[in-house]
């Protein structure tokens, strides 16, 4: 494809950023679980807490943000001919 539509460019950028965040949370933070366990959080060692609960909430946040932002992009660029 020679020209890339602005809608697709923005979609791609959003996807890339959120994916990067996902990689950092999933693999970056988990890598240091041992070190994070030194800290306490509501009685939990933080590394354990993050893997058991924190990260799941972050995942939900990522999906909500993506869904909202894509709805905006859709409204902005949809010219009605489908």
> For binding to other proteins (CB under 8 A), which residues are involved?
1, 5, 7-8, 11-12, 15, 18-19, 22, 26-27, 30-31, 33-34, 37, 41-45, 47-49, 51-53, 55-57, 59-60, 62-64, 66-67, 70-71, 73-74, 76-79, 82
Q: Which of 23, 15, 33 is nearest to 73 (CA)?
A: 15
Nearest approach, Cβ of residue 47 and other proteins (Å): 5
Q: Which of 19, 14, 17 is nearest to 71 (CA)?
A: 14
Distance between CA 23 and CA 27 in Å, rounded? 6
């Amino acid at each position: 494809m020679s020209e890339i539509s602005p809608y697709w460019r923005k979609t791609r950028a959003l996807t890339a950023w959120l994916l990067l965040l996902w990689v950092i949370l999933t693999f970056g933070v988990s890598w240091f679980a041992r070190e994070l366990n030194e800290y306490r959080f509501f009685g939990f060692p933080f590394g354990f807490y993050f893997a058991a609960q924190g990260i799941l909430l972050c995942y939900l946040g990522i999906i909500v943000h993506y869904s909202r932002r894509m709805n905006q992009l859709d409204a902005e660029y949809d010219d009605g001919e489908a």
